[in-house]
Amino acid sequence: MWDIIIVGAGPAGMTAALYALRANKKVLIIEAKTYGGQIINASSIENYPGIESISGFDYATSLYNQVINKGAEIKYETVIHVDEDRVVTTDKGKYQTKSVILATGAENRKLRIEGENELVGRGVSYCATCDGNFYKGKDVCVVGGGNTALEDAIYLSNIVNKVYLIHRRSEFRGDEKYVEEINNINNIELVLDSIVERINGTDRVESILIKNLDNLREIKVDGVFIAVGQEPKNEIFKNVVDLDDKGYIISEDGVHTKVKGIYVAGDSRVKSLRQLTTAVSDGAIAATTAIKEAKEID
């Protein structure tokens, strides 16, 4: 029997593990992919208090080492069910625990257009820092208008020949400082008020078809970097949590779900600010709450 099972090894889940381990709890983290969550792909983090600048990979790896060295067990399995009695079922087994913390974060939103799924890994990417180097000297586009898209465009402009930054509105959602920087970079072309209709290519991406105020335009690109935000993946937990219309877990106080002993932390819940700082805060609160309330469940 585990004291706490944490579903998801992103910053929220690993911080929950850290707090539980420091209270001498037996902790299992179950992660479907790799540790680190979304932050592992950030080229640089500059808004985490006390750390002037660190890459997402270095931050996530340091947190991972911290929890593993303190005794957390991690299993790379996919959770398929969590029942009200806190039995966690994965594709490989079943685990009983006193408390469960759901910290599954969110995943990249898809454009849901023709050519996207078909060409993933063959020109379509959701991670500029992971795949940018494959496009040295080539033409690529970045789709999106938030900080991720702006950062990706800047990052890629140092590697590729040309970046088309395609956004569906004329104003960016991302920070003004990035917009100013982009305006001074010669090899970034802004394509505003435009949506990508289709990604063309047979074996690899060859071009995209974009639509701007009823005009269609084809742009030849080798790579399409999609950065249009994230969406949660909470459907499998519907028996133990309430979801809002976008699929985020509703928690009145930010930590409890509708089932005793099952908690939520991080980007997967309804919240006003999804940042590294708020994710780690959630993890700390979820673990300390779970430890306190486990006494009532025993």
Query: Cα separation of 115 and 126, whole Å?
Result: 14
Query: Cα separation of 200 and 184, whole Å?
Result: 30
The site map against ligand NAP for 151-170 (x = CB under 6 A) is x----------------xx-
In this complex, which beta carbon is closest to ligand NAP, that of residue 77 or of residue 116?
116
Q: Which of residues 52-81 bind ligand NAP (CB under 6 A)?
A: none
Task: Please choose, out of 114-122, 186-194, 214-222, 226-234, the segment that lies near ligand NAP by the rule CB under 6 A.
Answer: 226-234
In this complex, which beta carbon is closest to ligand NAP, that of residue 47 or of residue 202?
47
Beta strands in 85-160 (DSSP E): 87-90, 94-102, 106-108, 124-125, 139-143
Cβ contact 152:128 at 8 Å:
yes
Task: Please choose, out of 7-15, 88-96, 142-150, 246-254, the segment that lies near ligand NAP by the rule CB under 6 A.
Answer: 142-150
One residue of 26, 75, 138, 173 binding ligand NAP per CB under 6 A = 173
Q: What angle do CA 269, 274, 279 make, to 5 degrees?
A: 75
Tokens (6 digits) for 121: 């890994």
One residue of 1, 47, 49, 137 binding ligand NAP per CB under 6 A = 47
Q: Is 130 annotated as catalytic?
A: yes
Cβ contact 88:102 at 8 Å:
no
One residue of 8, 10, 145, 201 binding ligand NAP per CB under 6 A = 145
Report strand pairing: 27-30 vs 2-7: parallel
Residues lying near ligand NAP in the complex (CB under 6 A): 47, 109, 111, 144-149, 151, 168-169, 173, 195, 227-229, 274
